[in-house]
Amino acid sequence: MSDITILGGGRVGGGLATALTRAGHKVTVATRAPDAAADAIRTASIVINATPGAGSLERLTALRTELRGKILVDVTNATVDGPDGLPADLLYPGSSLAERLQEALPETHVVKTLNTMLHTVMTAPAALAQTPTAFLSGTDPEAKQVVRGLLLDLGWRQEWITDLGGIETARAVEAAILFVPHVIRSGGFAPFAISIAR
C-alpha cells in the first residue's frame, strides 16, 4: 500500500480519497495553503492532482522541489469555460496540461488518467451499463504500472485500462473534454465515460 497525497478536496479529490483509503492506502488530502501542501507531499510517494486545471500548472510548479522523484497522477482538465460554466475550449490547444506539467517538472513522473469521465465513474466504473475505458499516458513505464495498480484498487479491470504511450498522448485524452458539455446538454448530468469498443 502507498502513501498518497491528494491535492484538491472537492468532489474529485474527496471521492478518490475515500475510495483509496478504503482500499488500504494511507491518504492525505492537502489544503490549498502552499505550506500545508508541501508538507503533505514530502511524506508521499504518489501525488494526485485534483486541483482546478486552469491553475494547476502554476500551483504544482511552485512545489517542484517537493515533487522531485514522486509519481504525479494528473486527473484534471485545463479548460476555458463558457458562460454556462461548462468547458468551451482547451487552455493548452496543441499541447496538454500533462505535457506542460512534465516539462515544468522534469524530475517528476507525470501520468495522465481518469480525466475522460464524470467524477463518480473514477471510483465506480462497474456502475455504468457499458464497459468504460481508463487511459494511461506517461513517459515512465514503472510509474504507469504503479498507477495501473491504483486503478485496479478503484475497481477498474485490467481489460478496461488502455496504455496510450508517452506523455504526448495526453493531448488526445484531454481534448475529449470538449465532448462533455454536449453530452451533458443532451443527456443530463448523469455518469458517463469515454470508452473504446473493440
- Three-state helix/strand/coil letters over the chain: CCEEEEECCCHHHHHHHHHHHHCCCEEEEECCCHHHHHHHHHCCCEEEECCCHHHHHHHHHCCHHHHCCCEEEECCCCEEECCCCCEEEECCCCCCHHHHHHHHCCCCEEEECCCCECHHHHCCHHHCCCCCCEEEEECCHHHHHHHHHHHHHCCCCHHHEEEEECHHHHHHHHHHHHHHHHHHHHHCCCCCECCCCC
Give pLDDT, residue 33. Answer: 72
Residue ranges, the chain, pLDDT below 70: 32
pLDDT tens-digit readout, 145-173: 999 999 999 999 999 999 999 999 999 99
Give pLDDT, residue 72. Answer: 98
Are the beta carbons of 96 and 74 closer than 8 angstroms?
no
**Domains of the chain and any CATH numbers:** 3-187 (3.40.50.720)
Give pLDDT, residue 67. Answer: 97
Residue among 32, 24, 54, 30 nearest 43 (CA): 30
**Sequence-separated (6 or more) residues with CB below 8 Å from residue 162:** 133, 134, 135, 136, 196
Give pLDDT, residue 184. Answer: 86
Give pLDDT, residue 84. Answer: 87
Cell of 28: 492525505
Give pLDDT, residue 69. Answer: 97
Give pLDDT, residue 9. Answer: 84
Give pLDDT, residue 103. Answer: 98
Crossing angle for the helix pair 97-104 and 53-61, to the nearest 10 degrees: 10
What pTM did the predictor assign? 0.95
Are the beta carbons of 160 and 132 closer than 8 angstroms?
yes
**Residue written as cell 507525470?**
110
Cell of 154: 478503484
